[in-house]
Every structure is written in structure tokens, then in C-alpha cells.
Amino acid sequence: MTVSSSASPNMPISRSHANDSNVDDSSAVSLLCSELIRHDSSALGELERGVAERVAEELSNMSLEVQVLEQQPRRTNVVTRITGTDSTAPALLVHIHLDVVPAVPGTWRVPPYSGEIRDGCVWGRGAVDMKNMAAMTLVALRELLGRGWRPRRDIVLAFVADEELGGAAGARWLVEEHAELFQGCSEAIGEAGGFSHEYAPNRRAYLVQSGEKGIGWLRLVAHGPGGHGSMMHKENPIVRLSEAIQRLDRHDFGLQLCNSMTELVDAAKKWNNTDDAETALHRTGPLAKLLVPTLRNTYNATEIHAGLQHNVVPPRAEALIDGRFVPGFETEFYQDIENLLGDLVEVQPVFHNSALETPFTGPIPEAITRALAAEDPQSITVPTCLPIGTDAKHFARLGIKCYGFVPLQLPSSFDFPAMFHGVDERVPTAALNFGQRVLQRFFESC
């Protein structure tokens, strides 16, 4: 289903106080982020329709022509284009996913879809992944357009569905069926880089994503004759599978450093006074959980399936492996696991998604660096690769150069990686205010 609309008559009345002259823009971004969180846009909730309508209302209030598109009922995408002053300049894409992963309310300190603002943070599912970017972008553009500004280049805004489950009803569908919406786009920003790391007192580096690991999901299958559980079984598939998983977990395949990590590793070595890449990233505090996995191809067992009943040794046992490969090391990813485990199990590919890597040069990286330096003059901007997968993989198919840029200035003790899909997801209000200001500067100069 495809629906085109400039505004829906059934859209809810704004509760963000965006038009209240007594509320400044920095407060508005936290309030809007809170409101977006209150829509449970997970696969177990309302899906994206409610939050997409709220986003469409914001865009319509900026006098922008909005297209609301659905490939499946309630899997809602919102796309608009801000026309620039230079028709010859390539367009910029800003892509933001509106879906979130489900949350289990009883495990949270606050209700996960309350959008509660307390202790200097906006709490709730999507606060970091990634309704924060939706709120910062909308408020930044509302401020700019409200004073008559127009960008030099066209800016395409795509608020998309279904990123958390692969984009079949979101970015992938839009790229395959509505590529005309992205006509002229040469570069893009999306999740998940742009966050700060305080490497010395009041000295910060902002890690902008210029690469992301590829996805190689695998199945390990062990075979054997099977038989009665009372007998001896030297070829027990469960034992063979267990040995394969333990061998994989213990094995060190060595460092596999891609271009996107070189500058970050060199900087981290200086910050932490070490010549060892892994040690340098381990010393980045909470961020180490996000950065260290980018140094090598990784394989993690996530499911095991075996057995028929208690007294039967099965003829087959299998394990599922979530594998992620470093840009430039895909061939090694598949060959290394085959070489290591081929005598024990059969290694079967299940799902593949390419790695991405984009040189951190050109107008958009320069605009990112300028915007961050303007708000944090002593900071540095460092490109990096992250282990996650994003919708950038889909948009890159159109020849678009993609960067992860969600600017957040974070307290040094803030466990940022734990916020992704984690319990008590939250974002500091000060970080939202900072990000809004940076995005305004970015849009003005790009």
C-alpha cells in the first residue's frame, strides 16, 4: 500500500509545546523525544503508524510536502524533500528509523514507553535507538525553516519503518520500489556514530561512523548415526557440535584492521599511552564494548537445536552463529571458520549483508567536523567503524555514501553501548540540546 499525503486529518494534536513561546528549542527537543517514545513502535506494539503520523505533522507544520508510504499495514514510512537554492548541487539524505525493539516493562526502572524525563535524561525505548535523532532533526529544521532559511542543496528526510527486522517494509522497500524519492542524493547521514568520548579532562573526540561490519549468519551442523541413549556413541552430534562451539570461542583469528579504524586506533594509542590496538580500545571505558569488536571478525553462538527425546542420541545437531565481518575481510571470515571447524561440522551460510566503508573525505565529513568544532572548540572528529548493521546498507545500493552521525555530547561515565536494545534506555537532555545545535550548524553549512 502506498499513501501520499501532506497531512492526515486524524493526526493527534501536538503535545510537544513546540509553538509555546515560553518553551525554548532546547526544551522542545526533550519534550518531542519524550512524545515520540510514547508511541510503542515495536513489532509487538503499535508498529510505526502512530509515531509516523506525529512526524508527518511536524513536517507539514513546516510547510513541507509529505509522503506517507506503507508496504504493509501500519509499517509506515514518511519522506519529504526540502528544496535547496542550488539545483545543481547533489542532494543530502537524512535517514532515521522509527521502529524500536520490544521492551519488557517489569525489568525497567521506568515504564519503557512513558518517555519520562527525570534525573537529567529522557527515558524509554528509542531514546538512543533512534527517536533522539528524529527529535533533534525535527526541532533543528523547525528552527531553521521558521526563520526563512533554505539549504544550499536539497535535503531528503526519510523516517523509515522496519530497520530492526531488516528493512523489508522500510528502507529496503523504498530503495527497491521508490528509488525516485532519493533522486540526486550523493551522501547520507543516519545512525549510529557522532557520540563523544572524553579522552582527557574536557577534551573530547567525536566518533563518526564511516564503516560498519557486514553480517554473515551461519549454521553449524553436526551429523552422526544416532541411536539408543544406553549405548556408546563416538560420533555423537551433540558432542561434536559442543566441541566446535568451544573451539570457535577459544580461537584467536588475529586483528583485522580496516581503513575506517586506522585513525581511531592511532588516536586511542596516544590517549592511552600504549602501542597495542586492543589495549588502547579497551581503555576507552564503556565504549570499549562497541569499539573492540570492530578489530576482528566475530562469531557468536546464539541458538542450539538438538535432540528427539531423553533416551535417543540424535543424528543431527545444529547451532546458529551470528557472525560479523570487518570491511575488506569477508573472504577470510568464511574461510577461517571452515578451516577451523570443517573436521567437526558442516558450515552453512544462512544470511549475508555486505560490510560498508566510505572514505571520511568530502563536503559532508567537512560539514560534520565544522559543526562539532563550533559547539565544542577543543574537540576532534575521528572516523570509525562500528560492529552494528544499519539501513545505510540499503541506501548504499543507490550509490549513496553513508555516514553515521547522531551528534551527542555524553558524560564520560555514561554507558552508551548499553543503551542500544538495553534495559533503562535513556539519553541525557543536555546531549539532545547539544545534538540539536550541532545539526542546525551542519544543515546550514552542508
In tens, the pLDDT along 221-278 reads 999 999 999 998 989 999 999 999 999 999 999 999 999 999 999 999 999 999 999 9
- How far apart (Å, rounded) are the C-alpha atoms in residues 28 and 20? 9
> Average pLDDT in the 118-136 region?
97
For 363-397, the pLDDT digits (tens) are 999 999 999 999 999 999 999 999 999 999 999 99
* pLDDT-based confidence at residue 27 (cuts at 50, 70, 90): confident
> Average pLDDT in the 198-214 region?
96
> Average pLDDT in the 324-343 region?
97
- How far apart (Å, rounded) are the C-alpha atoms in residues 112 and 40? 9
For 41-76, the pLDDT digits (tens) are 999 999 999 999 999 999 999 999 999 999 999 999
CATH top-level class of 2-191+389-445: alpha beta
Look at residue 420 and tell me whether its pLDDT is greater than 50: yes
For 151-195, the pLDDT digits (tens) are 999 999 999 999 999 999 999 999 999 999 999 999 999 999 999
Under CATH, which architecture does the 210-353 domain have?
A: 2-Layer Sandwich (3.30)
Look at residue 5 and tell me whether its pLDDT is greater than 70: no
- H/E/C letters for each residue in the chain? CEEECCCCCCCCCCCCCCCCCCCCHHHHHHHHHHHHHCCCCCCCCCCCHHHHHHHHHHHHHCCCCEEEEEEECCEEEEEEEECCCCCCCCEEEEEEECCCCCCCHHHCCCCCCCCCEECCEEECCCCCCCHHHHHHHHHHHHHHHHCCCCCCCCEEEEEECCHHHCCCCCHHHHHHHCHHHHCCEEEEEECCCCEEEEEECCEEEEEEEEEECEEEEEEEEEECCCEECCCCCCCCHHHHHHHHHHHHHHCCCCCCCCHHHHHHHHHHHHHHCCCCHHHHHHCCHHHHHHHHHHHCCEEEEEEEEECCCCCEECCEEEEEEEEEECCCCHHHHHHHHHHHHCCCCEEEEEEEECCEECCCCCHHHHHHHHHHHHHCCCCEEEEEEECCCCCHHHHHHHCCEEEECCCECCCCCCCCHHHCCCCCCEEEHHHHHHHHHHHHHHHHHC
Q: In the prediction, which pLDDT does 73 show?
A: 96
Domain boundaries, the chain: 2-191+389-445, 210-353
CB atoms within 10 A of CB 329: 18
Q: Distance from first CA to last CA of the chain, Å, rounded?
A: 34
